[in-house]
């Protein structure tokens, strides 16, 4: 069977043995994410029709209690993962605190924790721009059989056992890594099957796209301003093209295919930047590095940052290795 026709299910089974802790639990976890992704994809795609994109708490045209899609996505992933006895804890952008999963058979015997942004970029839904789910998976560090603690979630990104995203765009894709490269799967909605469409994704070492919200230019540090001007002036391969969707998953996915750099720097308005370390920057950084790219806060490798709190924010520079290195040079110089 050609690699292109391989389904996600077949891929998971084939690669289970290559994963060092292959007890099948991680495979079941990825399978559950696959199921939840299909449910959320269906909700996202019908959002415009049944008007469920509005503010939570109102009723929609059918008089049903209206929920925002990010609430629906959050509940879908949590319920899918909770009822399959796979993880012992979940942290979400939508929940102030982490969730302890008791587990049915034996309490707290599951060894993985999952962190997620269930629907990143959800403000784009009302204007029909693609959005995404981002997930990050660790082995718990506290003893099995005990309830998870915050320590199980505050692990540096280099210790992730898996990370991935679902992009609900012109087509729906699941892109993930378990530390052995990055593979992309495209959903055939007619039969609800993900097919291997992007085997062994590689981040081009250089690119000609820079992605940043230039509306914040006046608030950026000098190094960022200098780098943006560098992108815009004549030079080898420059001026670059500016592409910014305002949806992290979409911007990074495009840059991973075409080459480019995504930046969400700190600014006088956002002194730590905007993006969350645990369930946005760490998973995207693992994926980008596994594809040969680079991800830092402008100075330090994202995956080496020791998290201090669940929802902490960090500045984020991520993409083609040589472009991120050049941006870091400007950050150091100015």
Nearer to ligand P6P, 110 or 247 (CB): 247
**Nearest distance from residue 266's CB to ligand P6P, in Å?**
12
- Map residues 101-140 to x or -, x wherever contact with ligand P6P holds by CB under 6 A: -------------------xx-x-----------------
**Nearest distance from residue 214's CB to ligand P6P, in Å?**
9
How far is residue 328 CA from its own chain's centroid? 23
Contacts with ligand P6P by CB under 6 A: the residue count is: 9
Q: Are 176 and 11 in contact (CB under 8 A)?
A: no
Site residues (CB under 6 A) for ligand P6P, limited to 203-222: 213
Nearer to ligand P6P, 206 or 270 (CB): 270
Whole-angstrom CA distances from 82 to 57, 87, 304 are 25, 7, 30
Rg (CA), the chain: 20
**CA gap 153, 307 in Å, rounded:** 9
Site residues (CB under 6 A) for ligand P6P, limited to 58-77: none
Site residues (CB under 6 A) for ligand P6P, limited to 235-254: 246-248, 251
How far is residue 29 CA from its own chain's centroid? 16
Q: Does 295 bind ligand P6P (CB under 6 A)?
A: no
- Map residues 270-289 to x or -, x wherever contact with ligand P6P holds by CB under 6 A: ----x---------------
Nearer to ligand P6P, 86 or 314 (CB): 314
Q: What DSSP string describes 184-246?
A: EEEEETTTTEEEEEE-S----SS-SEEE--GGGGGGS-HHHHHHHHHHHSSBTTBSPEE---S
**CA gap 41, 43 in Å, rounded:** 5
Nearer to ligand P6P, 63 or 215 (CB): 215
Closest CA to 132 of 174, 95, 166, 88: 166
Residues that bind ligand P6P (CB under 6 A): 120-121, 123, 213, 246-248, 251, 274
């Amino acid at each position: 069977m050609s690699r292109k026709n391989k389904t996600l299910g077949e891929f998971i089974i084939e690669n289970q043995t290559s994963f060092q802790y292959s007890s099948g639990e991680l495979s079941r976890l990825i399978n559950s994410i696959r199921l939840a992704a299909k449910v959320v994809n269906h909700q996202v795609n019908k959002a415009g029709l049944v008007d469920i994109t509005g503010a939570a708490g109102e009723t929609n045209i059918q008089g049903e209690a209206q929920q925002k899609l990010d609430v629906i996505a959050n509940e879908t992933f949590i319920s899918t993962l909770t009822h399959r006895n796979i993880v012992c804890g979940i942290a979400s952008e939508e929940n102030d605190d982490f969730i302890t999963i008791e587990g049915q058979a034996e309490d707290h015997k599951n060894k993985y924790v999952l962190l997620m942004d269930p629907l990143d970029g959800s403000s784009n839904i009302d204007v029909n721009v693609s959005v995404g789910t981002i997930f990050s998976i660790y082995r718990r560090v506290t003893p099995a059989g005990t309830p998870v603690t915050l320590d199980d979630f505050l692990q540096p990104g280099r210790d992730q056992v898996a990370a991935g995203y679902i992009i609900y765009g012109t087509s729906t894709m699941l892109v993930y890594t378990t530390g052995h490269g990055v593979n992309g799967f495209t959903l055939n909605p007619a039969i609800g099957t993900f097919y291997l469409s992007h085997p062994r994704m590689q981040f081009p070492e250089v690119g000609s796209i820079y992605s940043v919200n230039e509306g914040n230019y006046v608030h950026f540090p000098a190094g960022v301003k200098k780098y943006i001007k560098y992108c815009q002036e004549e030079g080898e391969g420059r001026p670059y093209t500016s592409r910014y969707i305002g949806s992290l998953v979409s911007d990074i996915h495009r840059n991973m295919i075409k080459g480019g750099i995504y930046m969400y720097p700190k600014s006088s308005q956002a002194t730590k930047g905007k993006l969350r370390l645990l369930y946005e920057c760490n998973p995207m950084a693992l994926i980008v590095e596994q594809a040969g790219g680079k991800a830092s806060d402008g100075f330090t490798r994202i995956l080496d940052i020791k998290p201090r709190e669940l929802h902490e924010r960090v500045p984020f520079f991520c993409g083609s290795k040589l472009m991120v290195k050049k941006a870091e040079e400007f950050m150091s110089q100015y």
